[in-house]
Amino acid sequence: MAATLIRGQNVDIRMWTRPDEVEEFAMRQLQNISALPWAVKHIAVMPDVHYGKGATVGSVIALRDAVSPAAVGVDIGCGMTAVRTSLTASDLPETLRGLRSRMEAVVPVGFGQHKATAFTERDASDWGSFWKRFDDLTPAVKARADKAMHQMGTLGGGNHFLEVCLDTDQRVWVMLHSGSRGIGNELAQHHISVARTLAHNAELPDPDLAVFLSGTPEMAAYRHDLYWAQDYARRNRAVMLRLVCDVLRAEFPRVLFEEPISCHHNYVAEETHFGEDVLVTRKGAIRAGRGELGIIPGSMGTGSYIVRGLGNPDSFQSASHGAGRKMSRNKARKTFTAQDLAAQTSGVECRKDSGVVDEIPGAYKDIDTVMANQSDLVEVVAKLKQVVCIKG
């Protein structure tokens, strides 16, 4: 669909969804974001947009010499990784419960962590230098080093997941969604709190939109910690992918894996748009530069898409990060039951209890509508349907 342009305050708002389908609180947030004096050109709003802390989920913001940590989100570097295997549906056992159990045994979920560190030189060759950089993070997290090491290679809870999927050619894929775990959250919360105290943010319409300015020690400290957390998130997904692929290797000794696809969807990048060097925050959005591969998941019962970016300049070369919630977790728990969850995830080997009812497909927007709304941002490479879904 063609994007809709709405009058903002300092800059306009360009939306890849119908304005009347955006919740009132989210629309108010977008107007607040458009008032930021550092904003460049317009605010790009993805079709999965919904209310978030400070900045809406599904927003892409280009700022001149400034960055708002709330426009990144508290799960710094959260994103997706997927890999296509040589297996086909016919290779999988008739009952997938055992495969799910073996995967759950190697990847802790929820608040779980590894008893012994899980990362190895098979995942990266520079772990020493990576962990040494931990010493230079804000002193507020200095006591978290051991926890961060043992959470490396863990899934977390909420909307994070690990899946085995089939594409339309019946090829088997492994796909997972996770971020920078507890350490990324603590770093984000610390810097959001710092930003709120700075004098230049006193007149902002929402204190949670507080920014750091280039050339200041606060900005330097934030960017240092931010880039480390984004790296942590990328490595976290790589470790989990290797652990799960090892399960498949044990089960299917001849299995082969293609090159993984990986993308952040809560992050900051230094980019050039409309002839200007800017700091781009994508909160619930992936980069979709021309030819770049990305992953756009749906909910736990509806499937996902592998996409190729079209490089649309009006979206700051971005696309949605998923289906996006249409109701809060609390509302989902009040609206649906475990029986509803079982019905909506029929055919998927997954949890079907009340503990994950807030992740029921009915709490999310329709992924196919989301994809149709961004046909000028990405093209579909493959459509996947999960047969195993693991959640915390």
Q: Mind listing the pLDDT tens digit for each residue in 308-320?
A: 999 999 999 999 9
Position 392 confidence tier, pLDDT thresholds 50, 70, 90: confident
Phi, psi of 86 (to 5 degrees): -85, -5
Tell me the two tokens of residue 324. Answer: 């996006």
The pLDDT of residue 268 is above 90:
yes
pLDDT of residue 188: 97
Position 54 confidence tier, pLDDT thresholds 50, 70, 90: confident
For the entire predicted model, the pTM comes to: 0.96
Q: Count CA atoms within 13 Å of residue 156 on its CB side.
A: 21
Q: Mind listing the pLDDT tens digit for each residue in 193-219?
A: 999 999 999 999 999 999 999 999 999
Report which of 180, 207, 185, 196 is spatially closest to residue 140, judged by C-alpha positions.
Answer: 185
What number of other Cβ atoms are within 10 A of residue 181's Cβ? 28
Q: Which residues are catalytic?
A: 321
Q: Mind listing the pLDDT tens digit for each residue in 122-140?
A: 999 999 999 999 999 999 9
Tell me the two tokens of residue 7. Answer: 């009058």
Q: Which residues, 6 or more positions from 125, have their beta carbon under 8 angstroms from its beta carbon?
A: none
The pLDDT of residue 1 is above 90:
no
Q: Which residues, 6 or more positions from 270, have their beta carbon under 8 angstroms from its beta carbon?
A: 277, 278, 279, 280
Complete DSSP assignment for 236-273: HHHHHHHHHHHHHHHH-TT--B---EEEESEEEEEEEE
Position 177 confidence tier, pLDDT thresholds 50, 70, 90: very high
Q: Mind listing the pLDDT tens digit for each residue in 341-385?
A: 999 999 999 999 999 999 999 999 999 999 999 999 999 999 999
Q: What is the CA radius of gyration of the chain?
A: 20
pLDDT of residue 267: 98
The pLDDT of residue 296 is above 90:
yes
